[in-house]
């Protein structure tokens, strides 16, 4: 994982699931990850990584997107901490991620800025196959509160 990603995520060590930002702009981000194949992945349960762990991959892509946008906004801009408040329209095509040989691509598209949050549509894919998708709303911490 790049140093930049570690600086933008509220996690440390193995909980930093993403490897690299492949692309981003004001509305979209796409990140790549290989940590789903790591047997020591902290989200594994009974030796398997359930597809729903992919929601954390998407949430981390959203967090990185917010951090990158704050950096591009200029000096003094800092991302606000947040947490997933709502998940909707979630669907999946596999049960587990650990047996996916290809790298994962976590993509997110910002649909709306809300009064105290953000709405994103996310997709987790590998080898051009959608594995998990849905929408999430992130509730942001009040301005000035530490993440």
Q: What is the CATH number of the domain that holds 35?
A: 3.10.129.10
**146 in a structural domain:** no
User: Could you identify the residue written with the tokens 């009040």?
Assistant: 142
Give residue 3's pLDDT. 45
Tally of domains within the chain: 1
Asked, for residue 147, whether it belongs to a domain, the answer is: no
Print the domain residue range for 95.
3-140
pLDDT of 104 reads 98
Q: Is residue 145 domain-resident?
A: no
Sign, CA dihedral 58-63-67-70, equals: positive
Residue 41, strand partner residues: none
Q: pLDDT category, 82, cuts 50, 70, 90?
A: confident
pLDDT tens-digit map of 92-136: 999 999 999 999 999 999 999 998 899 999 999 999 999 999 999
Q: For residue 121, how far is the Cα from the chain centroid?
A: 11
Digit-coded pLDDT (tens) for 5-40: 777 787 778 899 999 999 999 999 999 999 999 999
What is the reported pLDDT for 55?
98
Q: Which residues contact 75 (CB under 8 A, 6 or more apart)?
A: none
Helix and strand element counts for the chain (H, E): 2, 6
Cα Rg of the chain, angstroms:
15
Region 44-73: what's the mean pLDDT? 93
Both tokens of 99, joined, read 């047996």
Residue 61 pLDDT level (bands cut at 50, 70, 90): very high
Residue 84 lies in a domain: yes
Q: pLDDT at residue 76 above 80?
A: no
State if pTM tops 0.85: yes
- With a cut of 70, say whether residue 143 has pLDDT above it: no
pLDDT at 7: 77
10 within domain boundaries:
yes
124 domain-assigned: yes
The verdict on residue 53 lying in a domain is yes
């Amino acid at each position: 994982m790049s140093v930049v990603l570690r600086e933008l995520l509220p996690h440390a060590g193995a909980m930093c699931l993403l490897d690299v930002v492949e692309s981003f702009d004001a509305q979209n981000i796409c990140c790549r990850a290989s940590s789903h194949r790591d047997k020591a992945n902290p989200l594994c349960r009974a030796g398997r990584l359930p597809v729903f762990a992919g929601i954390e991959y998407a949430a981390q892509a959203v967090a990185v997107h917010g951090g990158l946008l704050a950096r591009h906004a200029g000096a003094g801009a800092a991302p606000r901490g947040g947490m997933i408040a709502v998940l909707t329209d979630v669907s999946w095509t596999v049960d587990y991620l650990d047996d996916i040989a290809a790298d994962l691509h976590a993509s997110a598209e910002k649909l709306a800025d809300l009064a105290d949050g953000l709405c994103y549509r996310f997709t987790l894919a590998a080898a051009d196959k959608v594995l998990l998708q849905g929408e999430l709303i992130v509730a942001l911490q009040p301005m000035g509160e530490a993440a």
